[in-house]
């Protein structure tokens, strides 16, 4: 497929080697306007805003992924395979299963369980376990330590259901899964297939244990700055 793609209007070279991917286009805009110098809008197809600029001298891009595995599956596939992107760092929100995690704590997703069927396309004779780049995980942990934030490293659940009629979230918790979001497993699959790097860093926005701590949409958009700074410091040129 030639570029621009059906979903990204950018030209060759418009994206940096590392792209931060929040789900929300407004969070992408916030990151670009708050942290990037000389940020340029390189994509706005369907309002999925993508910017490239500089952070502490490093060329970095940020673009929204939308919600769910099909959406991040499209955008990360095109970035990895058509735009020469080497690393994608998802910066998202999640719901926490663990009593050790509170609102605004951070999960570094070493692995991504899923109730979805994204990996079926590879026709594997078994079950694929989507995992992050160890190199990026290691750097993220170092940055979390420097920032002094409360964080956990482990498995996360990428669910295809936000409104889960079976209310099955806590069944995953008994297997040590830290929390739930909706994108990471597809991102990790695409990175593995393309031979590229991926990582998901999530800020706890909601808790199954402490619902009184749940955050608002505006807080999710504008206040998860520690996660953003950690990801920007992890970004490679």
Q: Return the active site residues.
A: 206
For 53, which DSSP code? Answer: E
Quickly list DSSP for 165-207.
TT--HHHHHTTT--EEESSHHHHHHHHHHHT-EEEEEEEEEEE
Place of tokens 């490679």: 236
Residues 57-74: b if buried by 16+ CB within 10 A, e if exposed: ebbbbbbbbbebbebbbb
Q: Where are the beta strands (DSSP E) in 18-148?
A: 18-21, 37-43, 50-55, 58-63, 87-96, 106-114
Cβ atoms of residues 200 and 132 within 8 Å? yes
- Contacts of residue 157, Cβ cutoff 8 Å, sequence gap at least 6: 112, 113, 114, 115, 169, 172, 177, 179, 180, 181
Cα–Cα distance for residue pair 213/206, rounded to 1 Å: 7
Nearest alpha-carbon partner for 198 in 230, 165, 235, 168 = 235
């Amino acid at each position: 497929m030639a570029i621009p793609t059906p979903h990204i209007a950018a030209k060759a070279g418009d994206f940096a080697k590392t792209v931060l991917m929040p789900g929300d286009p407004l969070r992408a805009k916030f990151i670009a306007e708050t942290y990037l110098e000389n940020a340029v809008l390189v994509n706005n197809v369907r309002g999925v805003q993508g910017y490239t600029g500089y952070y502490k001298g490093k060329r970095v891009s940020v673009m929204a992924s939308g919600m769910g595995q099909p959406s991040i599956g499209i955008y990360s596939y095109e970035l990895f395979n058509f735009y020469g992107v080497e690393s994608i760092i998802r910066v998202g929100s999640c719901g926490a299963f663990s009593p050790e995690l509170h609102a605004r704590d951070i999960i570094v997703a070493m692995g991504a369980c899923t109730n979805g069927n994204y990996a079926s396309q590879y026709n594997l004779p078994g079950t694929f376990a989507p995992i992050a780049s160890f190199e990026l995980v290691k750097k993220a942990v170092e940055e979390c330590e420097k920032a002094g934030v409360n964080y956990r490293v482990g498995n996360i659940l990428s669910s295809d259901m936000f409104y889960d009629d079976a209310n099955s979230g806590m069944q995953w918790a008994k297997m040590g899964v830290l929390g739930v979001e909706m994108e990471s497993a597809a991102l990790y699959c695409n990175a593995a297939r393309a031979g590229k790097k991926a990582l998901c860093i999530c800020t706890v926005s909601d808790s199954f244990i402490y619902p009184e701590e749940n955050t608002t949409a505006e807080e999710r958009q504008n206040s998860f700055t520690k996660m953003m700074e950690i990801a920007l410091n992890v970004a490679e040129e």
